[in-house]
Amino acid sequence: MEQSKNDLIAEINSLRTELNAVILAHYYQEPDIQDIADHVGDSLALSHKAAAAEADVIVFAGVHFMAETAKILNPDKQVLLPDLEAGCSLADGCPEDEFREFIAKYPDHKVVSYINCSASTKAMSDIICTSGNAVNVVASFPEGQPLIFAPDKHLGRWCSQQLDRELVLWDGSCEVHEQFSEQRLVDLMLAHPDAVVTAHPECTEKLLQYAHHIGSTASILDYCRDCEVQEIIVMTEPGIIHQMQKENPDKKFITVPGADETCNCNECPYMKLNTLQKLRDCMKNRAPEILVDESTRQKALIPINRMLQIKR
Ligand code: 13P
Ligand code: SF4
């Protein structure tokens, strides 16, 4: 028999105490998961929270690369992910062997990798970045230092434009941010002429040209809080609307649909695999657990720690 939401929440709360666990949730998680988490944040904030975690168990309500990063930072803690299938098209689109061959073609280049990649890609990188600090991470290298940026070509291109700096880009993308429809965005802008547009840098260049603000999910939330305009068109995964509406109950947030009207393609299918029930189950069963081979972990830790030293 299906349990009531209140029973599930009560069970998660008692398991959190029993396990001495901390629950971290990304803004793209369903509202109930965001509300029960100890910390809700973007990839960067959650990496800092994972690095500082004092709990014995880290429950990561997000996708695999996020939980894996938490494990790399905390080899002695148990890291749980509600659904092991919660992957990411960027991480999956950068296989270890192909990436090794790619970077071998550019021996003078340093490698900047977006955190949305596997531990083995991180282990081949000089520094990690998130969408919240990518520009500062790239700028931390001297002007003359050639750089590879992987695996998101859209975030890489956006950084390159911000800094007027050439980057060699790996050809990867986010399957969610890549499919926002230009026509439907324009229709929304016409229907809401006073609205501003805010977007995540994983979107295509064509769509980003309409945005008044571009940034990570945390930066988008800051913008929505600070902005005087009452109507905001949001071009990122709609899970973030929950926090926006909580913080700004009087503002109107409008999501941009995907090109295909028959599906909810603007929702991340991986993030949405996690449910309150699976969150409870993973704490109860202490599985699925994230494990990282020790030699890969040690190599991947170095570029992650370098990133954590960089300001946002
Ligand atoms: P943030 O860096 O904004 O958390 O984005 C993560 C992500 O997966 C975006 O699709
Ligand atoms: Fe990966 Fe895109 Fe989902 Fe973010 S929204 S986890 S980048 S597939």
CATH 3.40.50.10800 fits 182-255, yes or no: yes
Pocket of ligand 2 (CB under 6 A): 63, 88-90, 116, 174-177, 202, 237, 268, 270-271
Residues 169 and 152: their CA atoms lie apart, in Å, by 8
Ligand nearest to the CA of 25: 1
The pLDDT of residue 204: 97
Calculate how far, in angstroms, residue 3's C-alpha sits from the geometric centre of ligand 1: 31
The pLDDT of residue 264: 79
3 state SS of 58: strand
- Do 291 and 71 contact (CB within 8 A), yes or no? yes
Calculate how far, in angstroms, residue 221's C-alpha sits from the geometric centre of ligand 1: 12
The pLDDT of residue 279: 98
Residues 26 and 277: their CA atoms lie apart, in Å, by 17
Ligand nearest to the CA of 217: 1
Ligand nearest to the CA of 266: 2
Tell me the pLDDT tens digit for each residue of 77-117. 999 999 999 999 999 999 999 999 999 999 999 999 999 99
The pLDDT of residue 175: 96
The pLDDT of residue 257: 86
Start-end of CATH 3.40.50.10800 domains in the chain: 5-86+271-294, 90-174+298-308, 182-255
The pLDDT of residue 224: 98
Calculate how far, in angstroms, residue 279's C-alpha sits from the geometric centre of ligand 1: 20
- Do 137 and 307 contact (CB within 8 A), yes or no? yes
Atom of ligand 2 nearest to the CA of 202: 7
Q: In the CATH hierarchy, which top-level class contains the domain 5-86+271-294? A: alpha beta
- Rounded to 10 deg, the angle between the 43-51 and 64-73 helix axes is 30
Instruction: Per residue of the chain (312 residues), give pLDDT as tens.
Output: 567 999 999 999 999 999 999 999 999 999 999 999 999 999 999 999 999 999 999 999 999 999 999 999 999 999 999 999 999 999 999 999 999 999 999 999 999 999 999 999 999 999 999 999 999 999 999 999 999 999 999 999 999 999 999 999 999 999 999 999 999 999 999 999 999 999 999 999 999 999 999 999 999 999 999 999 999 999 999 999 999 999 999 999 999 988 777 777 899 999 999 999 999 999 999 999 999 999 999 999 999 999 999 976
Calculate how far, in angstroms, residue 268's C-alpha sits from the geometric centre of ligand 2: 6
Calculate how far, in angstroms, residue 87's C-alpha sits from the geometric centre of ligand 1: 13
* Residue nearest ligand 2's atom 7 by CA: 174
* Residue nearest ligand 2's atom 6 by CA: 88
Atom of ligand 1 nearest to the CA of 200: 3
The pLDDT of residue 6: 96
The pLDDT of residue 311: 74
The pLDDT of residue 180: 93
* Residue nearest ligand 1's atom 4 by CA: 42
Residues 139 and 20: their CA atoms lie apart, in Å, by 39
The residue to which tokens 């109860």 are assigned: 284
Residues 114 and 134: their CA atoms lie apart, in Å, by 8
Q: Model-level pTM?
A: 0.96
Q: Give the strands of the sheet with 213-214, arranged side by side.
A: 213-214, 196-199, 231-235, 252-255
The pLDDT of residue 104: 98
CATH of 90-174+298-308, one of 3.40.50.10800, 1.10.10.1100, 3.10.50.40, 3.30.360.10: 3.40.50.10800
Calculate how far, in angstroms, residue 14's C-alpha sits from the geometric centre of ligand 2: 31
Residues 6+ apart with CB under 8 A from 63: 26, 81, 86, 87, 88, 91, 268, 270, 271
Nearest to 32 by CA among 69, 82, 84, 97: 82
* Residue nearest ligand 1's atom 6 by CA: 43
Ligand nearest to the CA of 27: 1
Six-digit token string for 199? 């977007």
Pocket of ligand 1 (CB under 6 A): 42-43, 116, 130-132, 174, 200, 202, 216-217
Residues 220 and 200: their CA atoms lie apart, in Å, by 8
Residues 6+ apart with CB under 8 A from 252: 230, 231, 232
The pLDDT of residue 312: 67
Ligand nearest to the CA of 93: 2
